Amino acid sequence: MRTKLHTVAAAGAAALLLASCGSGESGGGESAASGALTGEGSGESCTIEGEVPLGAVLSLTGAAASYGESQQRGLELAAAELAEQGGVTYDLTIEDDQTDPRQAITLFDEFVNDGVSLIIGPTLSNAAVQADPIAQDAGVPVLGISNTAAGVTEIGDYIFRDSLTEQAVIPQTIAQATEQFGLENVVVMYSNDDAFTESGYEAFAAALEEEGVEISETITFSKSDTDFRALLTQAQESDPDALVVSALIEAAVPLVTQARELGIDVPIIGGNGFNNPTLMADAGEAAEGVVVGAAWNSSSDNPENQAFLEAYEAEYGAQPDQFAAQAYTGLKLVDQAVRANCSAERDSIQEALGQIEDVPTVLGEFSIDENRDADHPAVVQVVENGEFTVLE
């Protein structure tokens, strides 16, 4: 694959030299398309003649369909705005992996062979872990827009993401909660038979130690448990300033409900599993006072966010969620990277993505860190009157 790419690049360079002949875009085939992927100017003035082919692999059907649908809307909104801007034209192809990693692998293969400049997605981390190596081997940059599992960007130097990991959100959550509530001792509860909640627990434990908050007790349960009364009574005995819980939403709802039932009215600080409107829908009043960190602050008044909210509402008649915001931001970042060197060559995008720093986005001031992970401020939310509001 490597060799082939060099050939393509060489052919591209040759085509560039021949560009004066004016046969660049009409020829079709890889070398011609590739040749048209480099333009003149830089930043806003960058003009690339050919269409820049981009692929997106989303879960539009199957278990993760609700996420994929939001992402599709975010991407299409961003694509429409970029089309208006002009200079660079994107040809975005969105494909459905049916929430199946094997299907994601097939689609990645197709996109790589079709000569796309970059692949966006896939929706779920477990698909990313399996499909991303294909793009890495072929030297095609990948931008994950919702993968939060540890290790995804460790696959290789072509794999990026704009989605903040739980490991990045949790320290900010704990720091702010400690300041707001003056936490001194807390009880930590987590389900120890699930890889995601366990890594969430580790992040919480490290963050609490960092902030000098004492963990008076650590209580474990199983992800299939539904009756937490005995555990909560045990937690209550050490009279904590807050409960810190790493659990999936299935366990989060009964846990929160039962805690309030037992008269535990201290804040409950949750991991990523709690970042779900289902919590308020199903736990009702009991959800009040739940604190959870998130990547996107829907009520942020930065101009990019306000414009996004307005455009999304106008286009779809609905409020965007975090998945739509991260997808929208993703495509905008790709545009940023393309314009930086005014080139949509794979290697050029890869290089430019790595250098993204302090870009104003819907998610706030955005940078890609040295591990190719997203770096931007998280938002700490608290449930008030049945809604997530910013904790301040």
Stretch that binds other proteins, among 80-88, 119-127, 202-210, 233-241 (CB under 8 A): 233-241
Residue among 5 and 262 whose Cβ is closer to other proteins: 262
| Beta carbon of residue 181, minimum distance to other proteins (angstroms, whole number) | 23
CA atoms within 13 A on the CB side of 118: 34
Asked whether 154 and 128 are in contact (CB, 8 A), the reply is: no
Q: Which residues have CB under 8 Å from 324's CB, separation 6+?
A: 70, 71, 73, 74, 77, 312
The three-state (H, E, C) secondary structure of the chain, written as one string = CHHHHHHHHHHHHHHHHHHHHCCCCCCCHHHHHHHCCECECCHHHCECCCEEEEEEEECCCCCCHHHHHHHHHHHHHHHHHHHHHCCCEEEEEEEECCCCHHHHHHHHHHHHHHCCCEEECCCCHHHHHHHHHHHHHHCCCEEECCCCCCCCHHHCCCEEECCCCHHHHHHHHHHHHHHHHCCCEEEEEEECCCHHHHHHHHHHHHHHHHHCCEEEEEEEECCCCCCCHHHHHHHHHCCCCEEEEECCHHHHHHHHHHHHHCCCCCCEEECHHHCCCHHHHHHHHHHCCEEEEECCCCCCCCHHHHHHHHHHHHHHCCCCCHHHHHHHHHHHHHHHHHHHHCECCHHHHHHHHHCCCCEEECCEEEEECCCCCEECCCEEEEEECCEEEECC
By the rule CB under 8 A, 250 interacts with other proteins: yes
Does position 238 interact with other proteins (CB under 8 A)? The reply is: no
Quick one: which of 42, 85, 113, 224 contacts other proteins (CB under 8 A)?
224
Least gap, CB of 233 to other proteins (angstroms): 5
Residue 239 as a binder of other proteins (CB under 8 A): the answer is: no
For other proteins, the closer of residues 164 and 283 by Cβ is 283
- Per-residue binding string, other proteins, 38-77, x by CB under 8 A, is -------------------------x--------------
By beta-carbon proximity to other proteins, the closer residue of 130 and 236 is 236
Among 93, 236, 302, 336, binds other proteins (CB under 8 A): 236
Whole-number minimum distance, CB 230 to other proteins, in Å? 4
Q: Read off the tokens for 215.
A: 């963990």
Q: Which is nearer to other proteins, 109 or 250 (CB)?
A: 250
Residues 314-333 that bind other proteins (CB under 8 A): none
* Rounded Cα–Cα distance for residues 190 and 223 (Å): 9
- 263 is a contact residue toward other proteins (CB under 8 A): yes
Tell me which stretch binds other proteins (CB under 8 A): 78-86, 119-127, 254-262, 324-332.
254-262
Instruction: Report if residue 231 touches other proteins, rule: CB under 8 A.
Output: yes
Least distance between other proteins and beta carbon 76 (Å): 27
CA-based radius of gyration for the chain: 23
Does 285 help bind other proteins (rule: CB under 8 A)? yes
Pick the closer one to other proteins by CB: 139 or 289: 289
Q: Closer to other proteins at the Cβ: 202 or 369?
A: 202
> Which member of 180, 192, 302, 336 binds other proteins (CB under 8 A)?
192
Binder of other proteins out of 115, 133, 156, 284 (CB under 8 A)? 284
Residue 233 within binding range of other proteins, rule CB under 8 A: yes
Q: How far is the CB of 237 from other proteins (least distance, A)?
A: 9
Shortest Å, Cβ 127 to other proteins: 18
Using CB under 8 A, which of 18, 230, 307, 318 touches other proteins? Answer: 230
Report the residue number, 215 or 262, with the smaller CB distance to other proteins: 262
φ, ψ dihedrals at 366, nearest 5°:
-115, 135
Per CB under 8 A, residues contacting other proteins are 63, 192, 219-221, 224, 226-227, 229-231, 233-234, 236, 249-250, 253-254, 257-258, 261-263, 282-285
